[in-house]
Structure 1
Amino acid sequence: MNLLAHARLMADYNRWMNQRVYAAAARLPAEAVAQDRGAFFGSILGTLNHLLTADRIWLRRFAEHPARYAALESLRAQPAPTDLRAIAHDTLPALRAAREELDARIEDWIGETAEADLDQALVYANTRGVVSRRRFGLLLLHFFNHQTHHRGQVTTLLTQAGEDVGGTDLLELIPTLMADVDGD
């Protein structure tokens, strides 16, 4: 499997897991979602907001790629968020709507991405203004890994609040290549 195929699988996994996480969070009262649970971003809502903000930051950076992805075009004119703890949406329904829109944009953008794009360098500045130059394909790996990391935190917070997200393994989206050995 090449890196681009991996990125497409991860875009699907991102959407799938976000649907599961938001569905579990929606079963909780709003106060429980906003309750500070001592996590790095405080609450379930705070951690989900961080994920949205970080994704927007990275997508804004990716919008500057020389390929000029149409799915990211509108982000070029927007200022990049600067506060990783920002609460972009203070209610779960508003945050969920923004997440769904962003997940669709991510899938559209990954669908536009070509194999040749992955080897190009991307120059960007982090939220403190430090400039970096890194291979775009490896930044994609970071982008999706970051999502998985923080969704794992949210899954733990949801479990502690009494909500089960269900299966979270990427394996659930990986098609089998042959019938199971034992015939199942």
Structure 2
Amino acid sequence: MKLQEHVYLMADYNQWMNQKVYEAASTLSPEQLHEDKKAYFGSVFASLNHICVADTLWLKRFSTVLDGYEAYKPIAALAMPESLNVFLANNFIDLKDRRVLLDEALLEIARLLTDDVLLQPVSYQNSKGVSANKTLFNLLMHLFNHQTHHRGQITTLLSQSSIDIGITDLVFIQPNVN
């Protein structure tokens, strides 16, 4: 499997899972969405928001490599989050709209990338100001892994409210081989 194919698979999986999580979360009342469940980010809403903040931050860091892509324009138009704790939306609908924008852009970018581009370095500073230089591929793998980690926390919070989002396995969307 080429690197680009793997990135596209992960972007496709992410979009599928985010749709499932947001659909499940949409059944909660605003009070339930914001209820402090003693999770790392407190509530379902804050956890969903954190994933959007982190994705926005990472995608903005990739501008040196992705800026020429038409599919990157919606990301380029977004403001860089000031911190990991900033709220990108005041309500669930606006947060879902941000999630959809991020997922659609990421999927289209993943479709267009080449292995050569994925192996290009991205220089950035982390939230503590430490400089790093990693390949776009490795940073995208981190982005996808980060989403999976926090979606797992969110599915636990949803299950505490008797909401089952169903199948979450990556293998479910992978095609069979002949």
Report if TM-score (shorter chain) is over 0.5.
yes
Contact in 2 for aligned 1:64/1:76 (Cα 8 Å): no
TM-superposed deviation, 1:43:
0.4
TM-superposed deviation, 1:77:
6.0
Mark the CA change 1:109 to 1:17 in structure 2 (over 3 Å): closer, same or farther. Answer: same
TM-score by length of 1: 0.90
Distance 1:161 1:67 in 2: 41
Contact in 1 for aligned 2:74/2:105 (Cα 8 Å): no
Mark the CA change 1:41 to 1:66 in structure 2 (over 3 Å): closer, same or farther. Answer: closer
Map 1:29-40 to 2 at 5 A. 29-40=29-40
Map 1:16-35 to 2 at 5 A. 16-35=16-35
Map 1:145-164 to 2 at 5 A. 145-164=145-164
| RMSD (Å), alpha carbons | 1.6
TM-superposed deviation, 1:12:
0.5
Q: Deviations over 1:123-144 (max 9, x none)?
A: 1122233221112211111111
SS in 1 for 2:88: coil
Distance 1:141 1:44 in 2: 24
Name the counterpart of 1:181. none
Contact in 2 for aligned 1:14/1:144 (Cα 8 Å): yes
Count of aligned positions: 178
Name the counterpart of 1:134. 134
Contact in 2 for aligned 1:67/1:117 (Cα 8 Å): no
Distance 2:112 2:66 in 1: 13
Amino acid at match of 1:20: K
SS in 1 for 2:116: helix
Q: Is residue 2:46 matched to residue 1:60?
A: no
TM-score by length of 2: 0.93
Amino acid at match of 2:162: G
Mark the CA change 1:174 to 1:131 in structure 2 (over 3 Å): closer, same or farther. Answer: same
Contact in 1 for aligned 2:60/2:76 (Cα 8 Å): yes
Name whichever of 145-154 and 72-81 sits farther off.
Answer: 72-81
Distance 1:152 1:41 in 2: 13
Unaligned runs of 5+ in 2: none
Contact in 2 for aligned 1:45/1:90 (Cα 8 Å): no
Mark the CA change 1:117 to 1:12 in structure 2 (over 3 Å): closer, same or farther. Answer: same
TM-superposed deviation, 1:82:
2.8
Q: Deviations over 1:39-74 (max 9, x none)?
A: 111100000000001000011011221773322235
Q: Is residue 2:33 matched to residue 1:6?
A: no
Name the counterpart of 1:182. none
SS in 2 for 1:122: strand
TM-superposed deviation, 1:148:
0.8
Name the counterpart of 2:94. 94
Contact in 1 for aligned 2:49/2:87 (Cα 8 Å): yes
Name the counterpart of 2:143. 143
Distance 2:145 2:102 in 1: 17
Distance 2:169 2:12 in 1: 13
